[in-house]
């Protein structure tokens, strides 16, 4: 009987220590909700010792890691202008539209391998509009102009034109900037 109580006391003590450790660990940081450009970041962030930490990949930019454990975020200024003929637009009527996009990139701090432009409809469907592989000789600013694009704005709502970059030829594209246009009935 004495051994059974000893086992129970040891188990209670172990679980008490584990529970206390979990409570302590939870009080060291606080999970926070983070919003960027009207969208909540899926992983959120953490508040630790009065500083907010956000996952680097969640910050619309090109994120690079090197072997020494350094993280580099490339986020140049990107301005997207949409043209129907010679007229700039930001709203459209539901239906097919022929247009071009002109993207100005400045304050680029590193060479990149390629850019692309895509559109996301209000339902979340994504379509690539145009892309370009870039050579090794780049400026810190450049222009990317698409070919003529015919797109069917099938429903009213917000459409997102995304500008993406990739660091290496075989790398993945990362969203760097976007422009929202509205399709009206």
Q: What is the pLDDT along the chain (185 residues), one digit of tens a residue?
A: 556 666 655 555 555 555 544 444 455 778 888 887 677 888 888 888 888 888 877 777 888 888 888 888 888 999 999 999 999 999 999 999 999 999 999 999 888 999 999 999 999 999 999 999 987 777 889 999 999 999 999 999 999 999 999 998 999 999 999 999 999 99
For residue 101, list its beta bridge partners: 82
In the prediction, which pLDDT does 21 show? 45
Rounded to whole angstroms, the Cα distance separating 51 from 177 reads 26
Q: How far apart are CA 163 and CA 116, in angstroms?
A: 6
The answer to whether the beta carbons of residues 63 and 173 sit under 8 Å apart is: no
Tell me the β-bridge partners of 151: 97
Overall size of the chain counted in residues: 185
Q: What is the pLDDT of residue 101?
A: 97
| pTM, 2 dp | 0.76
In the block, tokens 């993207």 appear at 103
Q: What is the pLDDT of residue 184?
A: 96
Element (H, E) at 18: helix 2-28
pLDDT given at position 22: 47
Structure tokens at 170: 């075989």
C-alpha of 123 from chain center: 18
Q: How far is CA 3 from CA 14, 15, 16, 17, 155, in A?
A: 16, 18, 20, 21, 73
The pLDDT assigned to 7 comes to: 61
Determine the pLDDT at residue 59: 76
């Amino acid at each position: 009987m004495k051994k059974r109580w000893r086992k129970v006391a040891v188990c209670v003590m172990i679980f008490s220590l584990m529970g206390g450790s979990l409570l302590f660990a939870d009080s060291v940081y606080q999970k926070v909700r983070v919003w960027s450009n009207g969208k909540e970041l899926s992983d959120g962030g953490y508040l630790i010792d009065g500083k907010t930490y956000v996952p680097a990949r969640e910050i619309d930019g090109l994120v690079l890691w090197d072997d020494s454990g350094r993280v580099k975020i490339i986020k140049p200024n990107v301005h997207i202008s949409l043209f129907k003929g010679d007229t700039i637009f930001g709203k459209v009527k539901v239906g097919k539209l022929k247009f071009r996009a002109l993207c100005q990139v400045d304050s680029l701090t590193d060479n990149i391998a390629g850019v692309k432009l895509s559109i996301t409809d209000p339902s979340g469907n994504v379509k690539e509009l145009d892309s370009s592989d870039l050579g090794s000789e780049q400026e810190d600013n450049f222009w990317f102009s698409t070919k003529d694009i015919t797109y069917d704005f099938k429903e009213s709502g917000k459409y997102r034109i995304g500008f993406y970059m990739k660091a290496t030829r075989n790398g993945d594209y990362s969203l760097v900037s976007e422009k929202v246009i509205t399709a009206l009935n």
